[in-house]
Structure formats: structure tokens, C-alpha cells
Amino acid sequence: MEAYDLVVIGSGWAGFNAALEARKLGKSVCLVEKDQIGGTCLNCGCIPTKVLTHFAKENPKQDIRLLKKEQEETISKLRNGIEFMLKSQKIDLVKSLAKVISKNKILIKEDNKEIEAKFILIAVGARPKDLPSLKFDHSRILSSDDILKLDSLPNSLLVIGGGVIGCEFACALNKLGAKVTIAEIMDRLVFMFDRDISKKIEQVFKKSGVAINTSYDIKDKDLSEYDKILLCVGRKVNLEDLFNSNLNIEITKEGFIKVDSNLKTSNSRIYAAGDCIGGLQLAHVASYEAKLAVNNIFIEPREVDYSVMPSSVFTSPELAQVGMNEEMAKKQSKNIKIIKKPFSSIGMAHIFKETDGFLKLIVDQDSDTIIGAGIIGPLATELINTLTIAVKYNLTTKDLSDLIFAHPSISEIFTEAIQS
């Protein structure tokens, strides 16, 4: 029987990074993948959707067959890169469904053989979920996976769910020429973001022709006017026949794998990371969890920390935030000051013709440290990385203003905001 220090089930962003991290520590690794290498992120998530948003921005009203060609080429290049890295790092890749049959044995279903592991890391990801009253039929009622496979644009599209995924698809497909409506049960879009940013993106969407219905429950509503309906209402974990029942792996009430603060499941030899444990279902979070889990297994345990985790939305304009937003800070009775600066004051924003939006800094008044930030505007998803460093390392506004940013550049908004 083949034996490894670590067997990773799932080759998405969590599984791939876990495998690389374990090899970096000199451990023997087997990576088991039932489908395409790269998981959701590469095949039907981050990468193809960002190709879509970029294509829609640069080529409005263009034939989406050109888009599909770009998506396929990009995915193929990146998949080849992942496979090369796995091979060069001497990570064994097994293409098969897997089942964990004991705390140190995995059944490889393709060959009906068992492999042994000192530790197992579950990184099986998640998939789109539907609603009790509205089930996927993959023809009219679509998942985010389905809509990426369309060969033509629908004339009218209802996007149910105004979170990150719903807003990205609504924005891109509207730019490509579809008539788009968003239905969101909360009182605003991207409700996890700062309220000012939510309201601003709603204004921009409405101006561009996207219809928005907030505080809206689609139950018992007549939806016959829409050619297609896209459900963006969350994700559910890929757990089917993954564990032998005698392992008694605990599952949360939401249906995700339950882990402790060290990313360990209810079995001390089995860890989990990425979308399958719920929480922040973002690729960079999955990567962080995976690397932490591997170090917890082989080096020393450290607790997971999500307090400084950037979030991005690739709409037009882009949205991003890190740390506390204004509402969170006020709930914690923080003595804060708000620094807000519009992109219309930045030269490069005018050159880009993207002046709509602003930077919003949340500053602890007592210590002058930057405890949070939100951005809506050009390159927000890049700018947030600088502010992640600021929040992570408790930089003050003076620290940020002392930095020199190239001119002209969008990054000048940091010093402009503080100086004003």
C-alpha cells in the first residue's frame, strides 16, 4: 500500500497550496482530484469570471463566443502551469473520486485501491446551491457554472442574490448587452460592505441600466418575464460519500465541515480548509487556511485569524475592503474618524476616465492607526492590498502619508486623502 505524510483531497486553491506547502516542508504528498485540476477558482470561478468582467469592460456588446475562446485559453495556460508545478515538486496527482475510510486510509475509487496517510486534508470545495422554491434546471434556472457555458446572451436576465457573485455577473452581462435585474433579499447590495459603498454601487448600476430590487423575496413572485434566471444565493459543500460513517466527522448546521481554530476536524488526523468549511469563501482565504493547516499539522499549531482579510468585487467600478467598516467600528464603540477622498481628485483617474468612487479610511482617533478601509473606484482590488498591510501592521495615517507613491498613479489617493 502506498503511504504518504499527507493526502490532500481536492485540487482547488486550498488543495493545491496545501500540497505545495507540505512539499516545502519536505513531506511526501498525494493530491487526489475527481475532476479538472484547479477546482472552482480556475475552472468556473475566479479566473473565468474575471476574464468575463475584463472582456465586458473592454469589449461591450461584443459576441460572447470571443469571450469563451479567451476563457478557454486562459484556463488552459494556468492549468498547464499548475500541473507543471505539481510535477516539478514531485507531488503525486491521482485523478479519481476518493473516500476517507479511516483516519489514515483513503479509498481511490477509480482503481478500487487504498492509500495510507499520516494526515489527511480535505479541500473538496463547494458548489452553487439553489432554493427550495426554485431549483436548477440548467436551461432557464441557472447556476454561476451554467451561465459561463452559454453561447449567447439572454435578452432578459434576473439575478437572484446581490452579493459578490451576483453583482459581478450582473455588471458584466449588462455591459455585454443583456437587460439585467437584480433581486436581493437584504436592504442593499453587497451588504457585507460599508453602507456608503453599497449605496454607491447601486447608484452606478441603476445609471448603467441595471434594475435593482432590494428587500425583495422572490417567493410566490411571477418570474415568467425573464428569459433566464441566475441563482447566486450561496454555496453548499461537496460532501457526498466522502467519509465512512464510522468516522463521525462533525458537520455544521449549515452543512459545512466543522473545524476548530486550528482547522482540525472532529478527527485529530483529519484537517479541512477552503470553501468546504464555510466562512469566507474566497480563494485567498482558502490558500491561507490550507497553508496554516499544513503548518499546524507538521510544525506547531496556530489559530486561524480572519481579522485582516481583504475582500474584492470585480464590478465596474471595482469594490474592495479590509478590516473594520464604519458600522463595525461603531458597534464596537470605537472612537473613530472617517477620511474620505473621491477619485475625481486624482489625475490618473481622469486619464483612465474612471472618476466615479472614493476611498474611505476608518481611523482609530486615539492611536491614529488605520483599522479599516473601503474603496469603490479604479483598481480598487489592487489598492486594497496596500491598505491590508496598513491594517495588519497597525500603521498610522502619518506612516501612510510618509510613503512616496509614483506620479501620476491611482495610488496617490492614499496620500491625497490624508493630506486633505
Q: In angstroms, what is the C-alpha Rg of the chain?
A: 23
With cell 457554472, the residue in question is 145
> How far apart, in whole angstroms, are the C-alpha atoms of residue 142 and residue 148?
10
> How far apart, in whole angstroms, are the C-alpha atoms of residue 114 and residue 121?
16
What are the boundaries of each domain within the chain?
A: 3-127+235-298, 141-231, 317-419
What mean pLDDT do residues 355-384 have? 98
Q: Is a pLDDT exceeding 80 seen at residue 62?
A: no
Distances in Å between the Cα of 402 and the Cα atoms of 82, 118, 186, 389, 399 are 39, 50, 40, 15, 5
| 407 catalytic residue (yes or no) | yes
Determine what percent of the chain falls in helix, strand and coil, rounding each to the nearest 5.
35, 25, 40
Q: Which CATH class is domain 3-127+235-298?
A: alpha beta
Q: How many residues does the chain have?
A: 420
- Residues near 282 by Cβ (< 8 Å), separated by ≥ 6? 309, 311
Q: Which three cell numbers stand for residue 248?
A: 463521525
> How far apart, in whole angstroms, are the C-alpha atoms of residue 184 and residue 187?
7
Q: Is the dihedral of CA 369, 375, 377, 381 positive or negative?
A: positive
> How far apart, in whole angstroms, are the C-alpha atoms of residue 264 and residue 29?
18
- Spell out a b/e string for 306-316, using b for 16 or more CB atoms within 10 Å of the CB, else e: eebbbbbbbbb
Give the model's pLDDT for residue 59.
81
Contact present, 379 and 409 (Cβ < 8 Å): no
Nearest CA to 207 among 169, 174, 159?
A: 174
Contact present, 121 and 7 (Cβ < 8 Å): yes
Helix (H) / strand (E) containing 93: strand 92-95
Out of 54, 138, 350, 407, pick the active-site residue.
Answer: 407
Tens of pLDDT, residue by residue over 100-135, are 999 999 999 999 999 999 999 999 999 999 999 999
Tens of pLDDT, residue by residue over 294-352, are 999 999 999 999 999 999 999 999 999 999 999 999 999 889 999 999 999 999 999 99
SS3 195: helix
Q: Is a pLDDT exceeding 80 seen at residue 61?
A: no
Q: Whole-angstrom distance between the N-terminal and C-terminal Cα of the chain?
A: 67
Q: How confident is the model at residue 233 (pLDDT cuts 50, 70, 90)?
A: very high
What values do phi and psi take at 115, rounded to 5? Answer: -125, 160
What mean pLDDT do residues 67-73 have? 93
Give the model's pLDDT for residue 65.
84
Average pLDDT, the chain: 96
CATH number of 141-231: 3.50.50.60
Contact present, 327 and 195 (Cβ < 8 Å): yes
Fold topology of 317-419:
Enolase-like; domain 1 (3.30.390)
pTM of the model: 0.95
For residue 29, list its beta bridge partners: 6
Please report, rounded to a whole number, the percentage of residues in the chain having pLDDT higher than 90: 95
Same fold, 3-127+235-298 and 317-419: no
